[in-house]
Amino acid sequence: MENKKTPITQHFMKVIFKGLLWLLPMVAITMIVLWVYDKIDALVEGVFHFIGFNPQNNEFLWFLAVILIFLLLLYVVGHFVGTRMAKLFEKIFIKIPGYSTIKDIFSIFSSSKDGKTKVLVVAIKGFAKEGYNIGLMYSQKESIIKDHYTVTLSMTPIPNGGYMFEVHKDNIFIIDNATFDDNLQYLLSMGVKSMSEVLEVKPKSINEMTSLKEWLDKS
């Protein structure tokens, strides 16, 4: 007898899977940080015992040493990124199912990236009779539709969901100096704070804003 899932079961599993995908990157990075911290903590404790210090009597010095070594390790890893060896490691890990997705999710939360992966806060025309919507461009790569680019409109007040649209470049305008964090603050306020208040600038005409076409030409 064929075992068919009921609509309630399908909905339940779908929501669980959605929650898992949202939680997984945060849990993964937390576990990695805690694991590295524990290893450094054990190393520092061993060094303290070797040189004759009692870690229990020097807790602040112990904690400070662990943090400094941890930051130094991150600094070394930061320099390691982009080298041939790093790319070799990435080629190995890229074969693991889900690695690429998790890597892309992590990269979203950096608004200081450059070029075709820079996060832009934009005003978009065309989703209402009049006016504009504020959204994000996580990359400036052209869509499968010529002269169109992918724009994401996040939900409020919980911005971990949203909608993706393919928008013509003539209908996309860059909000200067706005970052991913500024857009997050705007969303969490549910409109109580306007984007001009978040950025602490005066409102400007849409004609004063840089169009995506102009931005791409400059880039």
Residue 204 has pLDDT above 80, yes or no: yes
- Rounded Cα distance between 95 and 73, Å, is 26
C-beta separation of 167 from 148 below 8 A = yes
pLDDT at 55 over 50: yes
- Residue 78, token pair as written in the block: 């930061």
* Alpha-carbon gap, residue 142 to 140, rounded angstroms: 6
Q: What pTM was estimated for this model as a whole?
A: 0.53
Select from 149, 124, 126 the least CA-distant residue to 138: 149
8 versus 115: the higher-pLDDT residue is 8
Tell me: pLDDT of 175 over 50.
yes
Region 160-167 average pLDDT: 84
Q: What percent of the chain has pLDDT over 70?
A: 64
Decide if pLDDT at 196 tops 70: yes
> Identity (one letter) of the amino acid at 65?
A
Would you state the pLDDT for residue 2? 47
Higher-pLDDT residue of 18, 1: 18
pLDDT in tens, 92-138: 666 666 666 666 655 655 544 555 557 899 999 867 677 888 999 98
60-82 mean pLDDT:
73
Which range in 36-45, 52-61, 106-115, 181-190 is most confidently predicted, on average pLDDT? 181-190
Q: Is the pLDDT of residue 52 over 70?
A: no
Number of other residues whose CB lies within 10 A of the CB of residue 23: 10
Q: What is the pLDDT, as a whole number, of residue 139?
A: 83
**Chain Cα centroid distance, residue 69:** 26
Predicted pLDDT of residue 173: 94
* pLDDT recorded at residue 18: 65
Question: With 60 as the cut, is the pLDDT of residue 41 above it?
Answer: yes
pLDDT tens by residue, 13-35: 767 766 766 666 677 777 877 88
Contacts of residue 2, defined as CB under 8 A and 6 or more positions apart, other chains included, come to none
Cα separations in angstroms, 67 against 60, 73, 117, 173, 200: 11, 10, 31, 43, 35
Domain ranges of the chain: 7-107, 112-218
Give the residues across from 211 on adjacent strands.
173
- Model pLDDT, residue 123: 92
Contacts with 66 (C-beta within 8 Å, 6 or more apart), sequence order: 37, 40, 41, 44
**DSSP readout, the chain?**
---PPPHHHHHHHHHHHHHHHHHHHHHHHHHHHHHHHHHHHHHHHHHHHHTT--GGG-HHHHHHHHHHHHHHHHHHHHHHTTSHHHHHHHHHHTTSTTHHHHHHHHHHT-----GGG--EEEEEESSSSSSEEEEEES---B-SSTTEEEEEEE-SS-TT-EEEEEEEGGGEEE-TT--HHHHHHHHHTTTSS-HHHHHT-----GGGSEEHHHHHHH-
